Amino acid sequence: MSVPCVVLAGLESGPAVSLAAGALLAGLGGQRSTRPVLVGLDSYLWRLLYESPGRAPRVLDPALHTQAVAAELFEYWTETAELAVVVAARPLLDSWEGVGGSRALDYAARLDAPLILVLDARERGATAAATVVGARTLAGKADVAGIIVVGLEDGPAGRDLDEALRRRTDVPILGRIPPQLAEQYVRQLAVLTGTVRMIGPKPPANAALRLCEEASGYLRLDEIDATAARRGYLPAVTR
């Protein structure tokens, strides 16, 4: 049987995906042999995954690797792993440099792996639930197995969004990373990547990783683990 696997993809660009990916590896990477695989190269995300528990990340570049080569590489990279976490550098429905079949949902369908969406809920209300419904409608053959909500606020807008996600989307919520932690991560990420300059000492290089470790406590790791085990069999690789 193929290695258990999940595909993690955001509904939009931004820091929520890297926080969710780092939290997932912090929570599960220390428990078993975990291989992270990036679809498309994001240098910051690669460094974060490299520093996280688990094996060194690998990168599938849709512009360089054909689908057959990508399948063979994935099989080789994960053959001795106990869990594979595929992280899409681009949002769910966005292709990589216009290459056909390079969307996160395409990889999820080809790998027969469940798809976990990441929703950046900071300063958003119930309307954001429509993106989840739309993503599920457009997912085609991909199995949308759950969602990680990042930055869901405690006020009326956040409560409305939480209710809409629970009652209208029919997608299990596999984690809720609180807004204070999400905002702290965003600020540190901006400094570490040079987007924002700050006066005084910079945060330590592992500051973002520490926040990911804290965020892992807000994920339903047992349910995510069970979700990964739902993966089917890899198609035979044509050599």
Beta bridge partners of 94: none
Beta bridge partners of 176: 149
What is the average pLDDT score of the chain? 91
The reported pLDDT for the residue numbered 237 is 42
d(CA 235, CA 20) in angstroms, rounded, equals 28
pLDDT in tens, 182-235: 999 998 888 876 666 656 667 676 889 999 999 999 999 999 999 999 876 444
pLDDT in tens, 55-87: 999 999 999 999 999 999 999 999 999 999 999
pTM of the model: 0.91
- Percent helix, strand, coil in the chain, to 5, is 45, 15, 40
CB 106 within 8 A of CB 70: no
CB 207 within 8 A of CB 153: no
Tokens of 21: 């990916």
In the chain, what are the domains?
5-228 (3.40.50.300)
Closest CA to 110 of 19, 7, 213: 7
